[in-house]
Amino acid sequence: MLGASYALIVNIMIAALFAASFAFVALANPADRRALWFAASYMLGMSAPLCLFVVHLGVWPDFFGALNYVGFCAGLFLMTASLARFYDRGPRWSAVAGLYCAALLSGAAIGEWPQDRLAFNLVYQTPYALATACCGWIILLASGRGALEIALAGLYGVIAAHFIAKPFFATAYGVGRTSSEYVASSYAIISQSVTGVLLIAAGLLTLLLVAQRAISEARRAAETDQLTGLLNRRGFDLACAPLLARARAEGDPATVALVDLDYFKRVNDRFGHAVGDEVLRYFAALLRLTTPEGALVGRLGGEEFVVFLDGAPRAQGRRVAEMIRQAAALHVTPRLPPITVSIGVAEIAEDETFLQAMRRADEALYRAKTLGRDRVCVARRASLKEIHS
């Protein structure tokens, strides 16, 4: 029937478009090529409607009918592996290969059965249902899943249920006894259309997830200092703004500390920039260990770092700064030269901008350096004149 041909052609074109879209996203994001797995899955899945279209043309119907099953199973099981790879959960290739081999063996076992029998269709559709159920389960196991993940997992559950229901509809409406009769049946139009729509919806949601991940990672890269892994100035300002707004709305104090490595230029001049970079990475790790949970830590540039303490008054900010100073002085490694730090601390006044508080912390830092370095200085409280200037 012409209707079945159109449905098959549409499914072929859509699978090709999804494969190309995932490949484009992967190639546009050299740091993460996981989308290529989805592209491969859709390329394999595309072989199913393509084979059925060839069956419709009357070319080797038995061979291409079997190849349709082999290709579609491969595409769906590769999708489980693709999702596992996307969510950093494997994949467990032995399990995927075992399930796929079991599907092929079951398909071979029913090869001579008439296709209009319920038993044939149950065995035929079960691997599809199992693979799509596994897709939904992998997504549900992902940590930090959002609305898109929940929607996609639910959709895969619907797809699995639809594969389980198909044998009963096939038996009721008639699918013919061979692949050629199936392609010519009215049921083929409905089956290919419904399955196509469901898999298109799954593909769109998956593409949204991949694009969302790519955008998030690009944004993270733009807001992260590549050397230390801390926030850069832009990332720190963006992350700090909502925290400061919330603290002010709830009447909580907040403190900022500027940290500068003492005589860092001497380290670069004496030991080289490679050692200097290692010192910066080492100190960044030290900052992560010594600052309390919830503190925001960033690198402003060069050897200067910043710490934002939400809910911390000036006295607590000084204690944290002193812990950082002592940790830097006491933690000596054989590989690196010893370091000390100077720190300026300022509590952010209620009506003061963050930039004004940073300026006062910088003045305190300068005072710590002029007093001999390796010390913490606390900025005086902001005056009304300074706040409104």
Gyration radius of the chain's alpha carbons: 31
What is the layout of strands, in order, in the sheet containing 254-261? 296-301, 304-310, 254-261, 341-347, 376-378
C-alpha span between 87 and 81 (Å, rounded): 10
Give a three-class secondary structure readout of the chain: CHHHHHHHHHHHHHHHHHHHHHHHHHHHCCCCCCHHHHHHHHHHHHHHHHHHHHHHCCCCHHHHHHHHHHHHHHHHHHHHHHHHHHCCCCCCHHHHHHHHHHHHHHHHHCCCCCCCCHHHHHHHHHHHHHHHHHHHHHHHHCCCCCHHHHHHHHHHHHHHHHHHHHHHHHHHHCCCCCHHHHHCCHHHHHHHHHHHHHHHHHHHHHHHHHHHHHHHHHHHHHCECCCCCCECHHHHHHHHHHHHHHHHHCCCCEEEEEEEECCHHHHHHHHCHHHHHHHHHHHHHHHHHHCCCCCEEEEEECCEEEEEEECCCHHHHHHHHHHHHHHHHHCCCCCCCCCCEEEEEEECCCCCCHHHHHHHHHHHHHHHHHCCCCCEEECCCCCHHHHCC
Burial state string for 238-264 with b = 16 or more CB within 10 A and e = fewer than 16: eebeebbeebeeeeebbbbbbbbbbeb
| Cβ neighbours of residue 103 closer than 8 Å, sequence gap 6 or more | 73, 77, 127, 130
Q: Are 38 and 82 in contact (CB under 8 A)?
A: yes
Active site residue 303: yes
| Active-site pick, 181, 223, 303, 386 | 303
Active site residues: 303
